[in-house]
Amino acid sequence: MDALVRLLSNFIRTVAIRLPDDVLSALKELSSKESSYWGKAVYSLMFDNINLALEKGVPVCQDTGVLMFFIDVGTNFPYVNKLYDALKVATIKATEEVPLRPNVVEPFDEKNTGNNVGTRLPWIEWNIVPEADYVEITLYLAGGGTSLTGNAKVLPPASGFKGVIEFVLDVVSSYGLNACPPFLLGVGIGATVETAALLSKRALLRPIGSINPNPKAASLERILYEKVCGLEIGPQGLGGSTTVLGVNVEYSARHPATLAVGVSTGCWAHRRGVIKIKSDLTYELPLYKGVVL
C-alpha cells in the first residue's frame, strides 16, 4: 500500500508541475503561428511560467483544480481492492507535499475540506478490463476557470449538426475566455445530458492532434476548429489567430428523440497525465518522455 501511494502521489506531482508532451508541442506550434503583439507576449510568459514551474518544482498554475481519475483496471491487477483508498491517500499526501491548492468545498456547508478530498471527490470513473493485470490511470486536474465553460443541452434531433455547432459556438463565445485560451475544446454527443457532458470531458483526455476515427465526427472536429479559430479570441482572450489547442469530438449512440451535446474545455495549462502500472508496480508514463517518478 505504501509503495502504491508513493507512486500515485509522485504521479500527481508530475501532472501538477509538468505539462504533457503533446500539450507542450501544441503550444510551441501555436506560438510560432501567432502574429499579434499581445498574443506573442502571452506565449512568451506561458513558456517562462512552464520553465519556472519545472525549475522550482511547483505547480504550473496556482489553480491545481479538483482531481478527476479515469481508470481502466484489469480484473487481475493485484492491488485492485486497494486502489480506491490509495488514490484518496495519495491525493491528501500530494496536497500537503507538492503542495496542491485545497479546492474541495462541501456545497451545503460552504466549507473547504483543506485536503482535496470531499464527498465524491476526487472524482473516479472506473472501467473494467477483463483478464488484464495492469491499471491505466488518467488524471485530469480540472481548474475552476476552465470548468466554468462547461455546458450541456439536449436538442431535438431536428436541430441536426447545425444546432450542435450553434450551441458549441454560443458556449465558447460566451464563456471560453474563462478557460485561459488557447484551450482544448471537447465536445460530446450522446443520448442524455449527463452522458454528453461526460463524453465531452473524455474528449479532453484524447491526445492533442488525434482525429476521431469516424470520418463524419472528424469532419465535425474540423468545422468546429475553423469556426472557433474564426472567433479570434486569441491567447488569454487578448485577440489573435490562435484560440484552440484542438477540437476533440466523442460520441455515443442516441435516443431517436434526443440529440444531446456537451461542451468541456481544457485550458493552455492542460494538466492531464497517464500512468500505466503493472502488477509488479513498474510503470510507464506515455505522455512524459524520459520522466522518472
Return contacts of 51-55, CB within 8 angstroms, 24+ apart: 53/17, 53/18, 54/17, 54/18
Residue 145 is a binding residue for ligand SF4 (CB under 6 A): yes
Residue 263 is a binding residue for ligand SF4 (CB under 6 A): no
Closer to ligand SF4 at the Cβ: 12 or 73? Answer: 12
Select from 74, 143, 176, 240 the one that contacts ligand SF4 (CB under 6 A). Answer: 143
Q: Which grid cell sits at 97?
A: 507535499
Q: How far apart are the C-alpha atoms of 208 and 5, rounded to whole Å?
A: 29
Residue 275 is a binding residue for ligand SF4 (CB under 6 A): no
Closer to ligand SF4 at the Cβ: 259 or 267? Answer: 267
Residue 250 is a binding residue for ligand SF4 (CB under 6 A): no
**C-alpha angle with apex 65: 83 to 96, nearest 5 degrees?**
65
Closer to ligand SF4 at the Cβ: 249 or 269? Answer: 269
Using CB under 6 A as the binding rule, the residues of this chain from 33 to 72 that contact ligand SF4 are: 61, 63
Compute the least distance from the CB of residue 178 to ligand SF4, in Å: 7
Compute the least distance from the CB of residue 64 to ligand SF4, in Å: 8
β-sheet with 259-266: strand ranges across: 151-155, 259-266, 183-190, 244-251
Residue 179 is a binding residue for ligand SF4 (CB under 6 A): yes
Residue 150 is a binding residue for ligand SF4 (CB under 6 A): no
Q: Which stretch binds ligand SF4 (CB under 6 A): 51-59, 74-82, 139-147, 251-259?
A: 139-147
Residue 30 is a binding residue for ligand SF4 (CB under 6 A): no
Residue 244 is a binding residue for ligand SF4 (CB under 6 A): no
Compute the least distance from the CB of residue 281 to ligand SF4, in Å: 31
Residue 26 is a binding residue for ligand SF4 (CB under 6 A): no
> How far is CA 200 from its chain centroid?
10
Q: How far apart are the C-alpha atoms of 197 and 180, rounded to whole Å?
A: 20
Closer to ligand SF4 at the Cβ: 122 or 190? Answer: 122
Residue 103 is a binding residue for ligand SF4 (CB under 6 A): no
Return residues touching ligand SF4 (CB under 6 A): 61, 63, 143-146, 179-180, 267-269
